[in-house]
Chain A
């Protein structure tokens, strides 16, 4: 198998804090590789090393068959950092032409490419306006276009949908799927488990500077997730707290509070547990708004492995 990225035993320390601790990963060519983890897990540090911004203290990184520090390799990588990296006093066109120049793309090629990408992300009508007038979502999409302007082989997206509303998020997802279909490799750092779950062929879950597990989302869910998950939404927060303490204390269940009134209960046999939860709630005088049985997702995998929630 060909790999777009091979990282072995990467260690990176900042001011005596280990941001990356013996991280190894292999990203196959042509796949969407999700880096999933909470803020501070080390995703951005790992990305900085992959795109050649910083060097590891220890370990080896090969990107597209070479060192990411070489300009020739960098020219084949498209990078969208968390900061948009756009000049507020320039228009969308001007910002994109700037990045086209940086990557050595001719103005004619850049114009065609910008039109195509802007169309896909729905920002064509805004390109003549100064970026300072853009909303956060518009800037984010323009930033993604800037990362793709030179038609790179490897695309590294750091939290590309943070702050986007659901409709726009879907258009970004569509673009990522298109990239995969056209044979590009995408590394997608995100803390949205749904995004990683839906888009990734492979996922590495990171926590505290380490990759704790990696594999396809299905594989991870079946191996590390619970057989089933029951989600209970109660009328009030105090009721949720009461039910949580009862289920965890008396029945020994793994109960996670995922919202003020929402509990997520990992279980083996939901058919047996659902009547028990409803009768307990009745006895305690708690009013349930919603009760449903769900398949486990990557959030549950993360919960299972770390005891903490992924999304804050």
Chain B
């Protein structure tokens, strides 16, 4: 192996990559844009605060009872969490108008309070009609959860009041009850009827994604994954065709460094470009967007992160080499790499968490080797995995990187031979 030749390829490719405006955009500017967009658009500084729902209420209730439609609306108006109103209530005259506003997206939910609701709720069961805007499955679940959670809370309070009133009646009109069962016992029993299960909910969030800086850190890694993917694909897919267009390939094929030096030199050059870009992205993520990434040089497991990154880079370049079969020009290679890179970024759990993806797409994401490497990085710097937990993914990623690169190198040899014989 002529290492001077390998160095020559590395120096040339790194220099030319950083002098090419289009390449600079994709390698440096694009991930920075994504990180900043994540920080200030997707996870804005106010993220994590209470969501205020716009709720339209049609109150047809005219009950004269301690609890009625007007009381419910007052409760809605006065419910606050962390000093922020949970609902922005808009009174609507009729249910047709309410539905119209929901369909137009001007309201998140609607409540129709029928006449007699107060009387029914006080002496029996009050019926309500709740309408949820369901144009987005994710927000629909959130809105539904907020409304039902609120109504369950109201029901709970109402039940408590009704139980206390019942107990007062019991002690007054059924003194014999005290003989066999204490009032406390009866109260417990009635509470048990009203709330057979009392679940306490406790939020368990990894420390590293429990705050906005940590969420931005998660997405910064996603941006690096995105950049690694399409830049690696581009480097691999254009490796031969670009040399051909520059007219350098024939000259290189006639040189003593036409074999492994060309492949290794260009791959290492590509890896250096990716590492430099990743460092820039990390600098912007941490320094500008305020991302928090848990990585310590003192923790030996954290040193697997650069290895995972290397595996990701080798995989993407290897996949690019396979793609070179379909690349006739460097423009074609660029378009193909960008299209596939973006497609995989959004469908393979690199940018969006896999849990957000539809079932069939999740299967793809679970089995996409590049995602293993990115998951490995996140498992270490986000979820603080230990060595035994990360080892299977690490082995899988490294083996996949080697296998993909060997496949790419085979394609590369075929392509070189094909060009020479043209």
A and B physically associate: yes
B136 within 8 A of A: no
B250 touching A85, Cβ below 8 Å:
yes
A298 within 8 A of B: no
CA distance A88 to B15 in the complex (A): 12
A101 touching B7, Cβ below 8 Å:
yes
In the bound complex, residues from chain A placing their C-beta under 8 Å from that of B259 are 71
* A92 CB, nearest partner CB in chain B, Å: 13
A71 touching B256, Cβ below 8 Å:
yes
CA distance A74 to B258 in the complex (A): 10
A90 touching B420, Cβ below 8 Å:
no
In the bound complex, residues from chain B placing their C-beta under 8 Å from that of A54 are 420-421
In the bound complex, residues from chain B placing their C-beta under 8 Å from that of A90 are 12, 15-16, 19
In the bound complex, residues from chain A placing their C-beta under 8 Å from that of B12 are 87, 90, 94, 98
Q: Encode A93-128 as 1/0 by CB contact (under 8 A) with B.
A: 010011111111110000000000000000000000
CB contact between A85 and one of B20, B247, B422 (< 8 Å): that residue = B247
A102 touching B255, Cβ below 8 Å:
yes
CB contact between B16 and one of A77, A81, A87, A102 (< 8 Å): that residue = A87
CA distance A48 to B249 in the complex (A): 12
**Beyond A87-B248, A101-B11, is A53–B420 a contact (Cβ under 8 Å)?**
yes
CA distance A206 to B9 in the complex (A): 37
Interface size on B, residues (CB 8 A): 30
Residue of A nearest to B253 (CB): A53
CA distance A74 to B9 in the complex (A): 18
Main secondary structure of the interface of A (DSSP, over half): loop
Residue of B nearest to A130 (CB): B19
**Beyond A74-B255, A74-B256, A98-B8, is A104–B2 a contact (Cβ under 8 Å)?**
yes
**Beyond A83-B247, A84-B247, is A89–B255 a contact (Cβ under 8 Å)?**
no
B159 within 8 A of A: no
A52 touching B254, Cβ below 8 Å:
yes
- How many of chain A's residues touch chain B, expressed as a range? 20 to 34
In the bound complex, residues from chain B placing their C-beta under 8 Å from that of A79 are 251, 254-255
A51 within 8 A of B: yes
* A241 CB, nearest partner CB in chain B, Å: 41
B254 touching A89, Cβ below 8 Å:
no
B279 within 8 A of A: no
B4 touching A104, Cβ below 8 Å:
yes
In the bound complex, residues from chain A placing their C-beta under 8 Å from that of B253 are 52-53
B257 within 8 A of A: yes
* B230 CB, nearest partner CB in chain A, Å: 21
A233 within 8 A of B: no
A-contacting residues, B224-271, CB 8 Å: 246-259, 261
* A305 CB, nearest partner CB in chain B, Å: 30
A101 touching B246, Cβ below 8 Å:
no
CA distance A86 to B422 in the complex (A): 21
A101 touching B8, Cβ below 8 Å:
yes
In the bound complex, residues from chain B placing their C-beta under 8 Å from that of A14 are 421-422
B-contacting residues, A127-158, CB 8 Å: 146
B5 within 8 A of A: yes
In the bound complex, residues from chain A placing their C-beta under 8 Å from that of B8 are 97-102
B256 touching A53, Cβ below 8 Å:
no
A303 within 8 A of B: no
* B123 CB, nearest partner CB in chain A, Å: 84
A101 touching B16, Cβ below 8 Å:
no
CA distance A86 to B249 in the complex (A): 10
B2 touching A81, Cβ below 8 Å:
no
* A56 CB, nearest partner CB in chain B, Å: 11
B246 touching A102, Cβ below 8 Å:
no
In the bound complex, residues from chain B placing their C-beta under 8 Å from that of A105 are 4
Residue of A nearest to B18 (CB): A89
In the bound complex, residues from chain B placing their C-beta under 8 Å from that of A94 are 12, 15
In the bound complex, residues from chain A placing their C-beta under 8 Å from that of B9 are 101-102
B250 touching A98, Cβ below 8 Å:
no
* B422 CB, nearest partner CB in chain A, Å: 7
CA distance A75 to B16 in the complex (A): 25
B251 touching A81, Cβ below 8 Å:
yes
Residue of B nearest to A83 (CB): B247
A166 within 8 A of B: no
In the bound complex, residues from chain B placing their C-beta under 8 Å from that of A167 are none
Residue of A nearest to B2 (CB): A104
In the bound complex, residues from chain B placing their C-beta under 8 Å from that of A100 are 8
CA distance A105 to B247 in the complex (A): 22
A275 within 8 A of B: no
Residue of A nearest to B251 (CB): A85
CA distance A94 to B19 in the complex (A): 13
In the complex, 29 of the A-B residue pairs with CB atoms within 8 angstroms, ordered by the A residue number, are A14-B421, A52-B254, A53-B420, A55-B421, A71-B256, A71-B257, A71-B259, A79-B255, A83-B246, A83-B248, A83-B251, A85-B247, A85-B252, A86-B246, A89-B20, A90-B15, A90-B16, A90-B19, A97-B11, A99-B255, A101-B5, A102-B8, A102-B252, A102-B255, A103-B5, A103-B255, A104-B4, A104-B5, A104-B256
Closest A-B pairs by Cβ, 9 of them: A101-B8, A83-B247, A71-B256, A85-B251, A51-B254, A75-B256, A79-B254, A85-B248, A89-B19
